Amino acid sequence: MKIGFIGAGKVGLCFGLYLQQNHFTVTGYFSRSFQSAQTASMKTGTKSFDNINELVSNSDGIFITTNDDQIETACRQLADAVVTLKNKFVAHMSGALSSSALEIARKKGAVTFSLHPLQAFADVDKSVADLKSCYFGIEGQEQSEILEDILNQTGNPFLKLLPEQKTRYHIVACVVSNYLVALIDYGLEIFGTIGIDTEMGLQALMPMIRGTVENIGQLGTEKALTGPIARGDTQTIQKQMRIFGAEETEQASVYGFLGRLTLDLAMKDRLTDDRKIAQLKQILSKF
Ligand SMILES: NC(=O)c1ccc[n+]([C@@H]2O[C@H](COP(=O)([O-])OP(=O)(O)OC[C@H]3O[C@@H](n4cnc5c(N)ncnc54)[C@H](OP(=O)(O)O)[C@@H]3O)[C@@H](O)[C@H]2O)c1
pLDDT, residue 145, reads 83
What number of H helices and E strands is found in the chain?
Answer: 15, 8
Q: pLDDT-based confidence at 47, cuts 50/70/90?
A: very high
Phi, psi at residue 204, to the nearest 5°?
A: -70, -35
d(CA 144, CA 142) in angstroms, rounded, equals 5
Out of 53, 66, 90, mutate this one to test ligand 1's pocket (max ligand atoms within 8 Å of CB): namely 66
Tell me the chain's radius of gyration from C-alpha atoms.
24
What value does the mean pLDDT of the chain take? Answer: 96
Partner residues linked to 137 by β-bridges: 116, 159
What domains sit in the chain, N to C, each tagged with a CATH number? 2-161 (3.40.50.720), 169-284 (1.10.1040.20)
Residue whose CA is at the smallest distance from ligand 1 atom 21: 9
pLDDT, residue 143, reads 65
8 in Cβ contact with 50 (< 8 Å): no
Which residues in 60-175 belong to E strands, given as ranges? 61-64, 89-92, 111-117, 136-140, 158-160
Q: Which of 138, 140, 141 is nearest to 116 (CA)?
A: 138
Proportion of the chain above pLDDT 90, given as a percent: 95
pTM beyond 0.85: yes
* CA dihedral sign, ordered 193, 197, 198, 201: negative
What stretches of 110-197 show up as alpha helix (H) in DSSP? 124-130, 145-154, 166-173, 180-192
For residue 204, how far is its CA from the centre of ligand 1 (angstroms)? 33
Query: Of all atoms in ligand 1, which is nearest to the CA of residue 11?
Result: 16
Kindly tell me the burial class for residue 202, based on how many C-beta atoms sit within 10 Å of its own C-beta (0-12, 13-18, 19 or more). middle
Which residues are CB-contacts of 128 (< 8 A; sequence separation ≥ 6)? Answer: 14, 17, 18, 21
Q: pLDDT-based confidence at 122, cuts 50/70/90?
A: confident
Residue whose CA is at the smallest distance from ligand 1 atom 47: 94
Partner residues linked to 139 by β-bridges: 114
d(CA 226, CA 258) in angstroms, rounded, equals 14
Ligand 1, CB within 6 Å, residue ranges:
6-12, 31-33, 36, 65-68, 70, 73-74, 92-95, 116-117, 119-121
How confident is the model over 264-281, as pLDDT tens digits?
999 999 999 999 999 999
For residue 10, how far is its CA from the centre of ligand 1 (angstroms)? 7
